[in-house]
Amino acid sequence: MDEAKIRRLLKRIEKGSLSAEEALQNLKNLTYENISRARIDHHRAIRTDIPEVIFAGKKKTSDIVDIAHAMMKQSGKFLITRATEEIFRELGIKKASFHPDSGIISFGTPKKKYGQALVLSAGTSDIPVAEEAALTASFLGSETKCLYDVGVAGLHRLLAHKKTLDSARVVVVVAGMEGALPSLVGGLINKPLIAVPTSVGYGSSFGGITALFAMLNSCVPGIAVMNIDNGFGAGCLAHRINMMGKAK
Amino acid sequence: MDEAKIRRLLKRIEKGSLSAEEALQNLKNLTYENISRARIDHHRAIRTDIPEVIFAGKKKTSDIVDIAHAMMKQSGKFLITRATEEIFRELGIKKASFHPDSGIISFGTPKKKYGQALVLSAGTSDIPVAEEAALTASFLGSETKCLYDVGVAGLHRLLAHKKTLDSARVVVVVAGMEGALPSLVGGLINKPLIAVPTSVGYGSSFGGITALFAMLNSCVPGIAVMNIDNGFGAGCLAHRINMMGKAK
Amino acid sequence: MDEAKIRRLLKRIEKGSLSAEEALQNLKNLTYENISRARIDHHRAIRTDIPEVIFAGKKKTSDIVDIAHAMMKQSGKFLITRATEEIFRELGIKKASFHPDSGIISFGTPKKKYGQALVLSAGTSDIPVAEEAALTASFLGSETKCLYDVGVAGLHRLLAHKKTLDSARVVVVVAGMEGALPSLVGGLINKPLIAVPTSVGYGSSFGGITALFAMLNSCVPGIAVMNIDNGFGAGCLAHRINMMGKAK
Amino acid sequence: MDEAKIRRLLKRIEKGSLSAEEALQNLKNLTYENISRARIDHHRAIRTDIPEVIFAGKKKTSDIVDIAHAMMKQSGKFLITRATEEIFRELGIKKASFHPDSGIISFGTPKKKYGQALVLSAGTSDIPVAEEAALTASFLGSETKCLYDVGVAGLHRLLAHKKTLDSARVVVVVAGMEGALPSLVGGLINKPLIAVPTSVGYGSSFGGITALFAMLNSCVPGIAVMNIDNGFGAGCLAHRINMMGKAK
Amino acid sequence: MDEAKIRRLLKRIEKGSLSAEEALQNLKNLTYENISRARIDHHRAIRTDIPEVIFAGKKKTSDIVDIAHAMMKQSGKFLITRATEEIFRELGIKKASFHPDSGIISFGTPKKKYGQALVLSAGTSDIPVAEEAALTASFLGSETKCLYDVGVAGLHRLLAHKKTLDSARVVVVVAGMEGALPSLVGGLINKPLIAVPTSVGYGSSFGGITALFAMLNSCVPGIAVMNIDNGFGAGCLAHRINMMGKAK
Amino acid sequence: MDEAKIRRLLKRIEKGSLSAEEALQNLKNLTYENISRARIDHHRAIRTDIPEVIFAGKKKTSDIVDIAHAMMKQSGKFLITRATEEIFRELGIKKASFHPDSGIISFGTPKKKYGQALVLSAGTSDIPVAEEAALTASFLGSETKCLYDVGVAGLHRLLAHKKTLDSARVVVVVAGMEGALPSLVGGLINKPLIAVPTSVGYGSSFGGITALFAMLNSCVPGIAVMNIDNGFGAGCLAHRINMMGKAK
Amino acid sequence: MDEAKIRRLLKRIEKGSLSAEEALQNLKNLTYENISRARIDHHRAIRTDIPEVIFAGKKKTSDIVDIAHAMMKQSGKFLITRATEEIFRELGIKKASFHPDSGIISFGTPKKKYGQALVLSAGTSDIPVAEEAALTASFLGSETKCLYDVGVAGLHRLLAHKKTLDSARVVVVVAGMEGALPSLVGGLINKPLIAVPTSVGYGSSFGGITALFAMLNSCVPGIAVMNIDNGFGAGCLAHRINMMGKAK
Amino acid sequence: MDEAKIRRLLKRIEKGSLSAEEALQNLKNLTYENISRARIDHHRAIRTDIPEVIFAGKKKTSDIVDIAHAMMKQSGKFLITRATEEIFRELGIKKASFHPDSGIISFGTPKKKYGQALVLSAGTSDIPVAEEAALTASFLGSETKCLYDVGVAGLHRLLAHKKTLDSARVVVVVAGMEGALPSLVGGLINKPLIAVPTSVGYGSSFGGITALFAMLNSCVPGIAVMNIDNGFGAGCLAHRINMMGKAK
């Protein structure tokens, strides 16, 4: 902790062993080095409840394993996204759970969960991204619920769950292809709605671009849009919104 | 009518004033000139009921006026798209009707209309394109009906008109922004559905591209997609489909 | 069938065991749950003749096999698109037919077929998509006919089949590269025309985007455009149009 | 209110003047017409506190004036976005306030405001969009605060307002050009963050596309992204998030 | 003429007033300054017959007038593209001819013309670009012929002119919208074919991009493609090809 | 040969065994069937000297082998593009030659070659496409010459070959990355110039799009542009231009 | 100046009127407010010699005038980019100079200039952007030299100025259309080269995008690329590079 | 060395064995062949200190090995980019060093290094590109320093290294995703800054396009932007800038 460093400096002025003018020069540098560093890290630890998360992506398995073990030791929990079965095997942590569809490995989910984040998927192919969102929010401490395959082509499937929609505090809508579901849901609820386009589709779906732009242009005002396939980001935002007004 | 020309030629062989061999040379050229020309024009006249249509676009007003008068004389009807009030004034044809929103000028609509083409618009800003579709289909001889402002954000507005949807033979859905309405409608009906994206929107709506791609990627199979703002094309297709199985 | 549920409710009012006011509360929920669901499913079954279709895509083989067997049991027919030989083997249904080019597996085609849907392909590389369209329409109950390799560069190949063009009720035109064939065909016929761009080409064909936009911008009005390689969608739309005015 | 209609129907069964079976047929239609309609409108009125908003855009001034007056009569308040001075003059409502930079006209802001939504702008050119967000949230009932011109190129300008950042419940960050500010702010706070790209810039800023994509790809997880220049949408979402856990 | 400069230098060595070594140093520089300059200018003058052409574009009228007069004095001819009536008036050269559709002003066309360049346009809106191509080729010395409005939707119009196609040495095809005409023509002829996409169209024609890509992806091999609306470039290339094997 | 068919028909009128009116009906159909077909095929055979070419692409090896053998039998020559060593082995034709870099297999090149087509490549990575162009032109009967690795970054490499540039009848310039070489060469010569963009490059070269657009926008007027990596098309066009004015 | 604030704080510890611990709390906040602010501003003033520059763009004339006068008072100099004649008139500062082509207004250029920044333009239409670069570098204190219209199509024009190229410390190359000039120049020199694409061109030049991508993909390694038309940025970078190793 | 050739020519005039006029003809050709060639090669060798570099890319391993050995013999050093371990093995040069992350193989780095080029990476995934930049600059003779993982989301990590930033002569900033780091760094320093976008990211990062455009649109003026993943180019430019004002 670098407050110590500043404290020593100030103590020396107090004692008279350093003039105010000399201290001034020192403090200017400290400002950008240690104080800031400490403060911001400290804030992250205390306020966000969001531990560092490992994006497996192109990282080497051995690196991932090392980081995960370090996190487990330090904080008793970790989350790995875009992971593979191989990574899970190499981890060798029996109590961790691996979700093959979404590629999530999690360890140390909080016992008590709060509020309710509802995750909808338009089609069955969108489920991996929806699951990434749900597992992330859950890992961070949100109660989550999922409704899959309630896309716009079969309207009644969604309308049948009106009550579930009404009881959520925040709703994540995951959809590929034409990305129409968020607009439909947004017209039915008055909760914050997070839309996640997926790369599901072919031809002019452009790997999710079409769904992304459809969501950004929704006729329903105030929809929060995420990057393509970014279930993790949706889970983080859903958790933050879900926790508002909750005593943690 | 150029059949006359061929007939004269053949008559001359019949009469012996022209040898078969000489006629052969003539016919090869005629093939590509007059026979084809006549045939196709003839077919167009007899089978499609679609008179030539004037796309005002960047044409000069005087040219438009001339063409329209020529058409009126020849066939007793004409349709001008993307027209302005100025063009209507210059035309000086009192019995023609001008629709300022869609920029349609029409003259000589058929008395008897057939079937039913239903035109829906998602928002009020999509109405000009919807009107272009409806007026075109009507001009060609289809009974048309319109429901405006039944977009996906207010689901109930559409559901309230389930009967109207059921009684149509073909449905045209006009929508801008995220272009979600065709998917919703397509999940409710079993009629041929024509989707027309409009350039309504801003930012990443890209002048209708977002709606266009959303429609092409609809999770409802078999939706016919038109170019952006192409109400005229939608009206033509709707009419053709609407007339199937009808005695004309 | 959920009408039963509503009937029971109404019977209870009739019998006096439930007040109108109490029923009102129940019905509001039912509306969005079971009635809708039943109605729409019911309608789909009765009116569209379009059984659920399995898009194999990235689905697991075992899942596909299960769904197909369930469908076979329930309705005596199924259609799988984008399938592989492996899926066909695992299905173990001898009477099903597998079309390796288009990746279609079908079972239970209707004996009586109606009307005529004509499918054209510009080049030989476009045949798989054309076949997907033709097999889909055929499976749904349309008489289909195919003309392959009649692209715009060899005009005479198309003109030689003018009679076939004239006898169809609806025409599907499948083309990659510059996507010019629909415009050419559209100038020759007066039937509804469905254009399907394919991903055939290289360089600036952009996986079919060039053909798609060419078709959307056709100088022939009223062409219905499908997503890239979407033979299935074209087959569905062709069938719907082909069946218009036919007693089913 | 259409509950009346259903009530009358049920009363008739109760009285025996209508059989359950007959009522069933009626209810199926009602479901999609009036119940839904009433319910959803009712819900909007009671739960969202978001009155209809007028997007002036290309609407005619006379239409806007009519709608605004109707709203004023019905609910005592209205909000017009993308308005001009001319519209304000034509309205002739002295107590309405017009904000020329953002093109907002508002009437009937709630007296009591809740929570705190903080709106930041990267540059001075982004202020109109930021103001649209702030005025919208304020009109809906959120306490709002604004910090303008705190872009990433002059880091200290932002850091100087760390306390303001800490006291907000939700933060809206409006930025054009490279759209970097949301990432910077997102690394400093633990509140829900809404990023709004603006069309400020030239050359390869593509009217805001560059900023939009930068925000969607932020290395800070969980940022909510809006469409380009969509301050209104950001205001709506900010208000919804800000009101969570507040007794209204 | 800068050969003089080199000649003087070499003469001085010949005379002994300059050593070979000193001359070497001079020549190295001359190489990049005057020899090259002279050579290339000279070559252009002698070999290409293509005088400098003035692209009016955003140039000031007074500048254009000055350059044109200078050219007229030096070479007895000039060509201005993208010109306006105002420029023509300011020029004050009665014998120059102004073509308002294509914006071409030309002066001093060669009396004798060679070969034959045929220019086709798909629609009437493509005529200005076609005219730019034809007038350019004509100005450079090519015999030109034009066929307008022979687009792919009315096949017979083109086929009727088979003889004209056959008698040309090079064919320029100008088309907007879906840009299909070059493929059709390319399948009928064995001459070099130059395709010019135009910005005619709307919606997803993207100001000519769709036609451009369609032409680049033609199924007919060996089509030369120009930039959008670049009739001038097409005229230059057509002239160069047309003059091959001709004694000038 | 179908002229026979028409001749028979006309003879019958001559003999009086068919009336002119009856013949008219027959001729209308013949027009679109056999005459056209025969004519165009005939023209292709007699005039173009361009035998059908096999684009191996995604075709099955066995199909390619069959077509090649059929062509060899009929015309004594064939050309296969985008071929692999495996195809060459399966062909089993010893006298055919296989060029692994460009993927060209050719058989039966003409003994006498005409004129001169010069093919330049900017870098060594562009050679496969350049070779495809050169081998195609050579196969069709053009004398070809190649200069590789004369890109714009080392100007002197190109200038050293000024004489070779001057002696060509047509020049093909193949370049990837920024595609600048055609502009440079175009400023030095007065021959028809064909530019071929290649997919060489990375990042924002977009698989050749950058080079393609650079070539379309060249400040040198009259450059013919081909699709990306389309060496075959360039070879065809170069041959056609090269043969102009040559007795074949 | 906020050092004063810190100094007072430290003085109070020195005097004993504040404990070190209390001061620590205060300093943490100051860090982010005033120290940082002062430091960075101070550094900018002392080290960069780059005064604030006014981007006129869409700013109101009155605002621009106020800022310029304030700058003139404080630092004796100012630079306005993208200005108009109207702004110049309203400024009312006779000693300021206005450059109408580039839209630059400058006042207070340094007397002594250093090094040499050379600015090349490919065409005459690129001159405004080139001038913006040159005037910016000059205003900041760099000696600048300009060579205009030395594009790649007339190679000799550039080669004639080899000496000028050799004597520069840094070279800015401004080009539109195909953007080839930087590659050519980059192959001739060994100085840092800054490439600026301009929006000059039409059709597929896409307002400078084509030139931008060509420059990013140059086969010459190490070219610095600017945004489209960003002469100001190029001037700043050229000045920074030009001043390296110079005593200021 | 080809000066010899010219010298001989000039000597012959001096001796009278060649007339000035005859020499003139010879010199015109020499100009474009050997003088230029020799000069430019010579200049590259003497002035730039940048030996030819091998871009392994798709080259064959055997070719790469041959070129590298030739370079080693001629100049005692070589650099290979985008290399693999296999290439390194095949090289068989023990003293060469292979950097697997960046794919760099270098041999013969200069002993004395100059100045200081600082390379920053935003994330750990950007390190390979950053390393390519650092190793290139180092190989060319620049002292280099690296700071990795100092992205904008954890501001303090960067601020902690303010001194390192201040002591560099030129700074390379490598970042993927939203590409925001250059703007942040650019606001803190007054050195030339080179920004390198990387293809790190997913969804709408478009393989680095988003980062590229963000950097081109930075609100900090004068940032030099490289192509995506072009660490090599950044290293070349950084070296050139770093060496300015240094005696070599």
What per-residue confidence (pLDDT) applies to E11? Answer: 75
Q: Any alpha helices (H) in G31-154, and if so which ranges? A: 36-43, 61-75, 85-91, 127-140
| Contact (CB, 8 A) for C111 and C143 | no
| Contact (CB, 8 A) for H213 and H176 | no
- Chain B residue with the nearest C-alpha to that of D34: B160
Q: How many CB atoms lie within 10 A of CB G13?
A: 24
| Contact (CB, 8 A) for B161 and D36 | no
Interface test with E, best of H1, H14, H19, H35 (most E CBs within 10 A): H14
| Contact (CB, 8 A) for B173 and B152 | no
Q: DSSP letter string over chain F?
A: -THHHHHHHHHHHHHTSS-HHHHHHHHHHHIIIIIHHHHHHHHIIIII-----EE-TT--HHHHHHHHHHHHHHHS-EEEES--HHHHHHH--TTSEEETTTTEEEE---SS-EEEEEEEESSGGGHHHHHHHHHHHHHHTEEEEEE-S--GGGHHHHHTTHHHHHH-SEEEEEE-TT--HHHHHHTT--S-EEEEE-S---GGGGGGHHHHHHHHT-SSTT-EE--TT-HHHHHHHHHHHHTTT---
Element (H, E) at G113: none
pLDDT in tens, E140-193: 999 999 999 898 887 878 888 888 998 999 999 999 999 999 999 998 888 999
Q: Are there at least 3 beta-carbon pairs closer than 8 Å between C and H?
A: no
What per-residue confidence (pLDDT) applies to D223? Answer: 96
Q: How far does H236 lie from chain E, in Å, by closest CA?
A: 27
pLDDT in tens, D166-207: 899 999 999 999 999 999 999 888 899 999 999 988 888 889
Tell me phi and psi for residue F95, to 5 degrees: -80, -10
Residue C172: beta bridge partners? Answer: C119, C194
Going by pLDDT thresholds of 50, 70 and 90, the confidence category of residue A40 is very low
Using the beta-carbon criterion (under 8 Å), do E20 and H3 form an inter-chain contact?
Answer: no
- Three-state secondary-structure class, residue E223: coil
**Does the predicted TM-score (pTM) go above 0.90?**
no
| Most confident among C4-8, H43-47, H115-119 (mean pLDDT) | H115-119
Residue among C78, B165, B153, C47 at smallest CA distance from A152: B153
Going by pLDDT thresholds of 50, 70 and 90, the confidence category of residue B17 is confident
Going by pLDDT thresholds of 50, 70 and 90, the confidence category of residue E84 is very high
What per-residue confidence (pLDDT) applies to F54? Answer: 84
- Which of C32, C208, C229 lies nearest to residue A159, judging by beta carbons? C32
pLDDT in tens, H183-221: 999 988 889 999 999 998 888 888 999 999 999 999 999
What per-residue confidence (pLDDT) applies to G51? Answer: 64
Query: How far is residue D7 CA from its own chain's centroid?
Result: 36
CA distance A68 to A79: 8
Q: Which residues of A touch B220 (CB under 8 A)?
A: 153
pLDDT in tens, C46-100: 334 466 688 887 778 888 898 888 888 877 889 999 999 999 999 999 999 999 9
The whole-number average pLDDT for the span G54-77 is 84
Q: DSSP letter string over G147-192?
A: E-S--GGGHHHHHTTHHHHHH-SEEEEEE-TT--HHHHHHTT--S-
Residue H224: beta bridge partners? Answer: H194
The whole-number average pLDDT for the span H79-92 is 94
Q: What's the count of helices (H) and strands (E) in chain C, helices before strands?
A: 11, 9
Residue among H166, H167, H163, H131 at smallest CA distance from H146: H131
Size of interface E-H (CB pairs under 8 A): 48
G49 or H15: which carries more pLDDT confidence? H15
Amino acid at C63: D
Q: Is pLDDT above 90 for G155?
A: no
C interface with B, Cβ–Cβ below 8 Å: 40, 43-44, 47-48, 50, 53, 169, 187-188, 190-192, 194, 212, 216-217, 221-227, 232-237, 239-241, 244-246
What per-residue confidence (pLDDT) applies to B45? Answer: 37
Q: Are there at least 3 beta-carbon pairs closer than 8 Å between D and E?
A: no
CA distance B243 to C12: 48
Q: What's the count of helices (H) and strands (E) in chain G, helices before strands?
A: 11, 9
Going by pLDDT thresholds of 50, 70 and 90, the confidence category of residue E233 is very high
Tell me phi and psi for residue A144, to 5 degrees: -130, 155
What per-residue confidence (pLDDT) applies to C11? Answer: 73
CA distance A102 to A100: 6
The whole-number average pLDDT for the span H68-88 is 89
| Contact (CB, 8 A) for E182 and E154 | no
Place of tokens 């200078």: E70
Q: Which residues of E touch C178 (CB under 8 A)?
A: 179-180, 183, 213-215, 217-219
Size of interface F-G (CB pairs under 8 A): 115
Sign of CA dihedral D71, B128, A212, D120: negative
Q: Are there at least 3 beta-carbon pairs closer than 8 Å between E and A?
A: no
CA distance E25 to E2: 18
What per-residue confidence (pLDDT) applies to C25? Answer: 55
Element (H, E) at B127: helix B127-140
Residue among E244, E153, E134, D190 at smallest CA distance from A49: D190
Contacts of E108 (CB under 8 A, 6+ apart): E72, E75, E76, E77, E78
Residue B121: beta bridge partners? Answer: B174
Q: Which residues of F touch H209 (CB under 8 A)?
A: 204
pLDDT in tens, D145-174: 999 989 888 787 888 888 899 899 999 999
Residue B104: beta bridge partners? Answer: B99
G interface with D, Cβ–Cβ below 8 Å: 29, 31-34, 36-37, 39-41, 57-58, 197, 199, 207-209, 212, 227-230
C151 or B19: which carries more pLDDT confidence? C151
Residue D183 CB-half CA count within 13 A: 30
Using the beta-carbon criterion (under 8 Å), do C159 and F36 form an inter-chain contact?
Answer: yes
pLDDT in tens, H126-162: 999 999 999 999 999 999 999 998 988 878 788 888 8
Going by pLDDT thresholds of 50, 70 and 90, the confidence category of residue A140 is very high
Q: Which residues of G touch H44 (CB under 8 A)?
A: 190
Residue H104: beta bridge partners? Answer: H99
CA distance B24 to B46: 29
CA distance C178 to E183: 8
D interface with H, Cβ–Cβ below 8 Å: 122-123, 151-155, 177-180, 183-184, 186-188, 201, 203-206, 209-211, 213-220
10-residue mean pLDDT profile of chain F (248 residues): values are: 56 74 56 30 40 78 87 84 95 94 91 94 92 96 94 84 91 96 91 95 88 94 96 96 80
Q: Is H168 exposed, middle or buried (0-12, 13-18, 19+ CB in 10 A)?
A: buried
- Which of H188, H227, H246 lies nearest to residue G217, judging by beta carbons? H227
Q: How many CB atoms lie within 10 A of CB D124?
A: 14
Query: What separation, in Å, do the N-terminal and C-terminal C-alpha atoms of chain F show?
Result: 25
Going by pLDDT thresholds of 50, 70 and 90, the confidence category of residue E47 is very low
- Which of B7, B31, B39 lies nearest to residue F35, judging by beta carbons? B31
- Which of C122, C180, C205 lies nearest to residue E152, judging by beta carbons? C180
What per-residue confidence (pLDDT) applies to B51? Answer: 64
Neighbours of chain H (3+ CB pairs under 8 A): A, D, E, F, G
Using the beta-carbon criterion (under 8 Å), do G178 and F180 form an inter-chain contact?
Answer: yes
Residue among C159, B43, E168, B216 at smallest CA distance from F36: C159
What per-residue confidence (pLDDT) applies to E33? Answer: 32
Using the beta-carbon criterion (under 8 Å), do B11 and F20 form an inter-chain contact?
Answer: yes
β H193-197/H170-175 pair status:
parallel
- Chain E residue with the nearest C-alpha to that of C220: E153
- Which of G180, G206, G215 lies nearest to residue F184, judging by beta carbons? G180
Interface test with D, best of C2, C6, C13, C22 (most D CBs within 10 A): C13
pLDDT in tens, B209-226: 999 999 999 999 999 999
B interface with A, Cβ–Cβ below 8 Å: 122-123, 151-155, 177-180, 183-184, 186-188, 201, 203-206, 209-211, 213-220
Q: Is pLDDT above 90 for B56?
A: no
Can you read off the two tokens belonging to residue H102? 């960046």
pLDDT in tens, C198-233: 998 888 888 999 999 999 999 999 999 999 999 999
What per-residue confidence (pLDDT) applies to B29? Answer: 40
F interface with H, Cβ–Cβ below 8 Å: 124-125, 154-157, 159-160, 162-163, 202-205
What per-residue confidence (pLDDT) applies to A1? Answer: 30
- Three-state secondary-structure class, residue E79: strand
What per-residue confidence (pLDDT) applies to C23? Answer: 66
- Three-state secondary-structure class, residue G225: strand
What per-residue confidence (pLDDT) applies to C27? Answer: 56
Residue H98: beta bridge partners? Answer: H105
What per-residue confidence (pLDDT) applies to G25? Answer: 56
- Chain G residue with the nearest C-alpha to that of H240: G192
Q: What is the mean pLDDT of chain A?
A: 83
Using the beta-carbon criterion (under 8 Å), do G219 and F183 form an inter-chain contact?
Answer: no
Going by pLDDT thresholds of 50, 70 and 90, the confidence category of residue D12 is confident
CA distance C19 to D24: 16
Residue E119 CB-half CA count within 13 A: 29
Neighbours of chain E (3+ CB pairs under 8 A): B, C, F, G, H
G interface with E, Cβ–Cβ below 8 Å: 124-125, 154-157, 159-163, 202-205
The whole-number average pLDDT for the span E220-242 is 95
What stretches of chain H adopt beta strand conformation (E)? 54-55, 78-81, 97-99, 104-107, 114-121, 142-147, 170-175, 193-197, 224-225
What per-residue confidence (pLDDT) applies to A60? Answer: 83
